[in-house]
Amino acid sequence: MARKVAFRRKRQNRLGMALVSFVVLMLMAVILFKSRELKMKQAEYQQKEATLQAQIDEEHERTSRLTDYEKYTKTDKFVEEIAKEKLGLLYENEILFRSDLNK
């Protein structure tokens, strides 16, 4: 009778160990799957970050160009160019030659 009890306990112990091992393996599988998913998201976010950083750099460059253009518009050279191009004004000693090819 003692042998039967010992055999049952040994059998139950093996069954319990098998169940615990199965649960641990399932947890490891879930963790591996989720870690792969997280790595993919991380790569996607790094790509978005690089894209946004490029846009920020472009906007900084655009801002500097606009600042330079604003400074240029306050110069006399800009005023002279606008007067010549848009208004057709000239200095007193200048002569304007036009060709008929542009008509």
Q: 19-64 pLDDT, tens per residue?
A: 999 999 999 999 999 999 999 999 999 999 999 999 999 999 999 9
- For residue 102, what pLDDT band results from cuts at 50, 70 and 90? low
Average pLDDT, rounded, for the chain: 88
Q: How many CB atoms lie within 10 A of CB 49?
A: 10
**The two structure tokens encoding residue 98:** 């036009």
Using an 8 Å Cβ cutoff, are 90 and 84 in contact? yes
Helix (H, G, I), strand (E, B) or coil at 8: helix
| Percent over 90 (pLDDT), the chain | 61
Owner of token pair 């790569």: 43
| pLDDT higher than 70, residue 3 | no
Helix (H, G, I), strand (E, B) or coil at 89: coil
Global confidence as pTM:
0.55
Amino acid at position 83, single letter = A
